[in-house]
Each structure stands twice: as C-alpha cells, then as structure tokens.
Amino acid sequence: MSSLAEHSPRKGQSLEKQVDTVRVFDQSFYWLAVIGAIGIGGVLLWIAVQIGLSALPAIQSYGVDFLTTTTWDPVRNIYGVLPQIYGTLISAAIALVIAIPVGIGVAVFLSENFLPNAVRTPIALAIELIAAVPSVVIGLWGIYVLIPFLRPFYNFLYENFGWIPLFSTPPRGNSLLTLGLVLSVMILPTIIAISRGSLIALPRDLRQGALALGATRWETILRVLIPAAFSGIVGSIMLALGRAMGETMVAAMLVGNSNQITPSLLAPGATIASLIASQFGEAGREQVAALLYAGLILMILTLIVNILAEIIIQKFQNVE
Amino acid sequence: MATTEDTIGRTKKINLTRSARTPFRSYFDFFMTFLTGAFTILTIVPLVALVWDVVRQGIDRLGIQSFTELPPPPGLEEGGFGNAILGTLITLGIAAAISVPFGVLAAIYLSEFGRGTRIAYGVKFATNVLAGIPAILAGLFAYTVVVLTTGGFSAFAGGVALSVVMIPIVVRATEEGLLLVPQEMRQAAVGVGATNFQSISRIVVPAALPSIATAVTLALARAGGEAAPLLFTALNNNFWSTDIWQPIATLPVLIYFYAIIPYEAQKEIAWAAALVLLGIILIVSISSRLLARQRL
C-alpha cells in the first residue's frame, strides 16, 4: 500500500473508497484461490462422474455379466472384459514381484552411506529420469529391441520348463511376461523415491540405538529401519500398483492385445488400458459405450488403489 | 576366558576374546550390500540401454527435413514429422493455458491461505489421487466432455486431456516452490501495510517464480510425452494443421502409429521422432532438476 503514501487520492474518490476497492479486490482474489483449490477436487469428481455417466448405457445393456464375459465381439455386440481384468492384474503382479524387492533394495542402498554423495546424487537423478521417459518410446524400444533380446530366454523357458503351466505356450514375444517385465522397470522410480524418502525421514535415534545394541548395519536395516518405514514403503507399492494397472501405451504395444485367458505368461494377453487404446480408434457407437464401461472399471480399480495409498502415506507422515 | 553367573546362579564360561560378530553376520552384511548395489546398477541398465538404442536408431534418419517436412505416405521414403512437432506444441500450449492458472491458484491457496486447514488437506489428497489417474482416463474424459459435445476430434480436446495430466504436477511443484519463500518476506510485506493480494502478487510469487517456471516445465515435459490421452481426442493428422478445432498430429501419437505399422520408412521416422521427443524431455528434465537442486 505504499502507493497510498506516495500519491494523493485520485480525484473524486475518498481514501476510504480506495481502501474499500483494495479490500474487495483482496477478497475476490482469496475466493479465486479457494475456487482454484476446491476446483481440483471438482475436476477429480467431474472425471469420475463423467466417465460413470457415459458408461451408463453400456452398464444398462451388459450389466454385471460384462465383468465375467470373455468375448469381445463388435460384430455381434457381445462385450466382456474378464480377459482384460485378468491381464491387468497378472501383468501388474509380475511387475510388483520384481519391483518390490529390487525397489526396496535400491531405496535402502541409496538411503545409506554406501556411496559418496557425489555418486549417489547422479544415480538418484538417473532413476528419476526413468519416470520421465515417454511410455510410447519405451513401447517402441520394447517392440524392436527388448523383445528380440528376450526371445532366446523365452525359448529356453518354453523348451525346458514348458511342463509348468506358466510357460506352456510357444513364446511369441508379445506377452504378459514382457509387459510385466517392462512395467517393473517403469514403476521402480515410484517405489524407490517414496521408500527412500520415508527411510531418510526416520529419526536418527532408531539407527543409533540399534547399532549401540550391537546390531550390524543390515540387521539394523532389516529389523529396525524397514519396519519403521513400513507404511511409507507399502504406500509406495500401492502407488506403483496403480501406475502399473493404468499404463496404456506400453501395454498396447507389448502385450499382444489378444482376448484370451491362459495360465501361460508367455502367451499374448490384453489389459483394460490396452483394450481401450487399441479398439477405440475404429469403434462404432456400441463398442465405444462398452469401452467407456471398461474405462469405468479401470478408474474404480485405480481410484481404490490410489486412495488407499494416499491414506497409508498420509498416516505415516502424521506420525512423524 | 572369564566366568560369569547366569540368572539361576550357575557358573558359565564365556569367551571374551572372540567378537560377538560371527563370520555369518559379517558375510550376510557384505552379501546384502553387494546385492542391493547390484540391484541399483540393474535399475539403471534399462535406461542407459534405451537411450543408447534410441540415439543409435534415430540419428541416421534425423535431419533438417525431420522438422520441416510432412510424413511420407506408406511406401515412400522421404519426409519428416514437422507437423507432429507443431501439433505437440499447440496441444501443450492449450493444456498450459488451462492448467497453469488453475494449478498456480490452487497452489497459492494451499501455501498462502489454507496452510494446515482441513480444506487444504482435502485438496492435497485430491491432487495426489488425480496424479494417480491413468492418462488414458484423462483421454476418455476429454472425449466425452469435448469431442462428443463439439462433434469431432480436435487439438483443443487433446489440450484438455493433457491439462488433466498437468494440473497435479503444477499444483504440487508450485506449492513446494511457494513454501520455500521465507516467512519473513510475507511478514515484512504485511508489516508495511500490504494486503494479501499485494504481498502474494508482488513479493511471494515473484520470489517463487523460478520454482513455478520449473514446475510448469516439468509438467510440460511429462504431458508432452503422453500418447494415451491424445489417441481419441487430438487423434492424428497427416498434414499441417494449426486449427484447434481440427484433429492434429502429435509426436507421441505419431510414434505409436508408426511403430505398429509394417513399413520400414515409417519405422525409421518413429525412431527419429522418439529421439527428438526423448532428447527434449531428458534435457528439460535434467536441467530443471539441477536448477531446482541448486536453489534448495
């Protein structure tokens, strides 16, 4: 309000009036910010309601059977997403099986002082960059570099362990296993960043106490630090699960988009996201409705996972 | 050797010369350190391999024509993806025009007005959940809201879809930047009689401007690489287009379409486009992170 001291009030306007306008202006700015903030929740709600409403016609025509039907037939207008739900869950599970131990391991390694800071910082940066790579570029790389690279391993698995149902089909490259492997790398940054953050945030006394009692460094880590940071780690895993289930381009490019349920991980499959991405382009009216229904299911799955993750992480932060 | 009495009074010999640290415990420690170190290297290998392959495969095809020419029809060789670069810039511009004012206002509320309130808690919660929503659902949302109501695929619909991706990133990073502004600056502004608006618009936001710029850049880098929200909003276009009500080509969608069709020339263009996209995103991400770190 320095302007008031320097300049005389404008003609025809008393000082009070000017102060009033400033106050009104100030108030409206406050409310603008409030609207902006509440608008975030509004957008979230809008997305949920909008997708729910547009799925309504399909919900009415296909009902709950949509979840248990295994056909996707635009010609006869029979739609069901059981194979896609199966593929979404299986590929996410493969990704988690790999990413949980590796992610927690890396988080520990980077939160301890095994490496000097000058080495640790670039490594942490590189891991953050994995999350920055566009998924369509990862998909391109997966098709032309990773799949040819993995083929001998797949053949080996099939030839030697083909009697296990998990590897019982001739490998085709595009498969749930390929997708799971790539997803595991893509969700690692999420697990590492949040787990590492909660490990670093632990009070020093915990570590010092354990070491003073004679525990080795890894006994301290495994029995004291990881249990103490457990909720942060679990939260990071939930977030990673949400990412894995919703990842679209990599799924559409690497999973093979085949509408089937087999126990074999070497067989092509489909996920809900890959179904939407690969079918939407040439979909007619009925099929678009069915795809919106599929989108609603994906949204419900990811919302549950993400909300749980947030609750777990927030709870952890409040304890601190 | 020394002797000691246990709890029921028996005399026991204990060995004081040997460390309680048995070989197994030492080996276990060494093994775990080695294992997690190996995991760390293993995590970075795919990134290095991917960047290396994209550079190797994309560099041959990259030239001035990549930026100035249209993609060739199937079967022909020459051409570039200039229209897709322009399209990416246009959709990002629309997305930024929606998400930046909105996101910055929300962040201002979180850091300046609502600190510690229930509303702020709820808003942060909503922001984080929004960040976790799959990008393809942002596409479905924009499809039902924009494409169905305006009657066609358009660059604007793509921009709306990308803005959903950008908003949570802008909010979170801007809030962090605003929180870094020392409380004393706000108190000094209020002390000389500034209103909230004056203190925020003249003192706090200018002080946090570099972090806000970083936030916007990171959000743009993230949204610029997304193909899923654009597949059925902006769709694709084989020609130059600047009309925001028409379908438009974008780099990620072009890479997707060209990666899955069996023409060699298109495949090469996909790699070159991937190199351009990845190059820009990595450079932007690295530099903005380094700048952010310097400020801390």
Calculate the alpha carbon distances from A271 to A92, A169, A186 in Å.
Answer: 10, 19, 16
**A220, closest residue in chain B (CA to CA):** B29
Which band of pLDDT confidence, cut at 50, 70 and 90, is reported for residue A98?
Answer: very high
Higher pLDDT, A122 or A7: A122
Which positions in chain B touch A37 (Cβ < 8 Å)? 105-106, 109-110, 114, 119-120, 123
Q: What pLDDT is attached to residue B6?
A: 65
Residue of B nearest to A37 (CA): B106
Residues 5-34 of A with CB under 8 A from B: 22-23, 25-26, 29-30, 32-34
Q: A68-319: CATH homologous superfamily?
A: MetI-like (1.10.3720.10)
Q: Where is B221: in which H helix or E strand?
A: helix B205-224
Distance of CA B76 to the CA centre of its chain: 35
**Range in A7-11, A58-62, A190-194, B179-183 the model is least confident about:** A7-11
Identify which has the larger pLDDT, B265 or B228.
Answer: B228
Q: What confidence score (pLDDT) does residue B90 get?
A: 94
Separation of alpha carbons B224 and B227, rounded Å: 8
- A100/chain B closest Cα distance in angstroms: 11
Q: Is A249 in Cβ contact with B102 (below 8 Å)?
A: no
Predicted confidence at residue A50, as pLDDT, reads 93
* B140: closest CA of chain A, how far (Å): 7
Number of CB atoms found within 10 A of residue A203's CB: 10
CA atoms of B27 and A191, how far apart (whole Å): 27
Contact at 8 Å (CB) between B179 and B152?
no
Q: How would you classify the pairing of strands A72-73 and B2-5?
A: unpaired
Are B125 and A47 an interchain contact pair (Cβ–Cβ within 8 Å)? no
Q: Span A238-264, mean pLDDT?
A: 91
Q: Above 90 in pLDDT, residue B23? A: no
For residue B259, give the nearest of A1, A132, A143 by CB distance: A143
Q: Is the predicted pLDDT of residue A22 greater than 50, yes or no? A: yes
pLDDT greater than 90 at residue B289: no
Task: Share the mean pLDDT of chain B.
Answer: 87
Residues of chain A with CATH 1.10.3720.10: 68-319
Domain boundaries, chain B: 83-295
| A171 or A273, which is more confident | A273
Which chain A positions have a beta carbon within 8 Å of B281's beta carbon? 132-134
Do residues B267 and B286 lie in contact, with contact meaning Cβ atoms separated by under 8 Å?
Answer: no
**A155: CB partners within 8 A, 6+ apart:** A171
Asked whether the predicted pLDDT for residue A12 surpasses 60, the reply is no
- Range from A164-168, B14-18, B240-244 carrying the lowest mean pLDDT: B14-18
The encoded tokens of residue A189 equal 């940054």
Residues in chain B with CB shorter than 8 Å from the CB of A243 are: 132
Taking the CA atoms of residue A294, residue A298, residue A299 and residue A301 in that order, the dihedral angle to the nearest 10 degrees is 140
**What is the arithmetic mean of pLDDT over B83-110?**
93
Q: What is the DSSP string of chain A?
A: -HHHHHSPPPTT--HHHHHHHHHHHHHHHHHHHHHHHHHHHHHHHHHHHHHHHHHHHHHHHHGGGGGT---EETTTTEE--HHHHHHHHHHHHHHHHHHHHHHHHHHHHHHTTSS-HHHHHHHHHHHHHHHHS-HHHHHHHIIIIIHHHHHHHHHHHHHHHTTSGGG-S---SSSHHHHHHHHHHHHHHHHHHHHHHHHHTS-HHHHHHHHHTT--HHHHIIIIIHHHTHHHHHHHHHHHHHHHHH--HHHHHHS-------S-TTS----HHHHHHHHGGG--HHHHHHHHHHHHHHHHHHHHHHHHHHHHHHHHHHH-
Mean pLDDT calculated for residue range A146-174: 88
User: Which residue in chain A has the smallest CA separation from B101?
Assistant: A36
pLDDT(A300) > 60: yes
Q: How far apart are CA A132 and CA A190, in angstroms?
A: 11
Q: Sign (positive/negative) of CA torsion A104, A132, B214, B158?
A: negative
B164 CB neighbours in chain A (<8 A) are 43, 47
Banded pLDDT at A244 (limits 50, 70, 90):
very high
> Assign residue A134 a region: left if phi > 0, alpha if psi is -120 to 50, beta otherwise?
beta
Mean pLDDT, residues B237-263 taken together:
88
Of A19-23, A201-205, A258-262, B142-146, the least confident = A19-23
Cα dihedral across residues A197, A200, A202, A207: positive or negative: positive
What residues 166-195 of chain A have any CB closer than 8 A to a CB of chain B?
185, 188, 192
Q: Is the pLDDT of residue A316 over 70?
A: no
Q: Say if residue A301's pLDDT is above 50.
A: yes
Given pLDDT bands bounded at 50, 70 and 90, which one contains residue A283? confident
Architecture per CATH, domain B83-295, reads as Orthogonal Bundle (1.10)
Residue A21 pLDDT exceeds 90: no
**Mean pLDDT, residues A301-310 taken together:** 92
Q: How many CB pairs under 8 A join A and B?
A: 275
Q: What pLDDT, on the 0 to 100 scale, is given for residue A317?
A: 62
Q: Is pLDDT above 80 for B74?
A: no
Residue A1 and residue B193: Cβ atoms within 8 Å?
A: yes
Q: Is B55 on the interface with A (CB under 8 A)?
A: no
B286 touches chain A (CB under 8 A): yes
Distance CA B159, CA A249 (A): 18
Which of these ranges, A8-17, A150-159, B145-154, B239-248, has the smallest mean pLDDT? A8-17
pLDDT exceeds cutoff 80 at A211: yes
Is B102 in CB contact (< 8 Å) with chain A? yes
- Contact assignment for A41 to B39 by CB distance below 8 Å: no
Kindly tell me if the per-residue pLDDT of A320 is higher than 90. no
B2 sits in which H/E element:
strand B2-5
- What tokens were used for A160? 């030697």
What pLDDT, on a 0 to 100 scale, did the predictor assign at position A5?
Answer: 46
Across the interface, which of B39, B113, B224 has its CB nearest the CB of A109?
Answer: B39
Residue A3 has pLDDT above 70, yes or no: no
Which residue, among A133, A185, A219, A276, would best test binding to B if mutated, counting the most B CBs under 10 Å from its CB?
A: A133
Most confident of A252-261, B45-54, B237-246: B45-54
Q: Per-residue pLDDT for B24 more than 60? A: yes
Token pair for A46: 């809008």
Interface test with A, best of B28, B29, B109 (most A CBs within 10 A): B109
State the average pLDDT over residues A277-300.
89
In this structure, what DSSP letter does residue B216 have? H
Residues of chain B positioned with their CB less than 8 A from the CB of A34? 109, 113-114, 119
CA distance A109 to A123: 11
Question: Looking at A90-99, A203-212, B57-66, B276-285, which range is the least confident one?
Answer: B57-66
What confidence score (pLDDT) does residue A10 get?
A: 54
* b/e A219-256 (16+ beta carbons within 10 angstroms → b): bbbeebbbebbebbbbbbbbbbbbbbbbbbbbbbbbbb
Candidates B124, B236, B138; CA nearest to A299 is B138
User: Residue B248: exposed, middle, or buried by beta-carbon count in 10 A (0-12, 13-18, 19+)?
Assistant: buried
**Residues 125-184, chain B, touching A (beta carbon < 8 A):** 125-130, 132-138, 140-141, 144-145, 148, 164, 167-168, 171
Q: What is the pLDDT of residue B35?
A: 94
Cβ within 8 Å, pair B49-A125: no
ipTM of the complex: 0.88
Higher-pLDDT residue of A282, A31:
A31
Question: Quick one: pLDDT band at residue B4, thresholds 50, 70, 90?
Answer: low
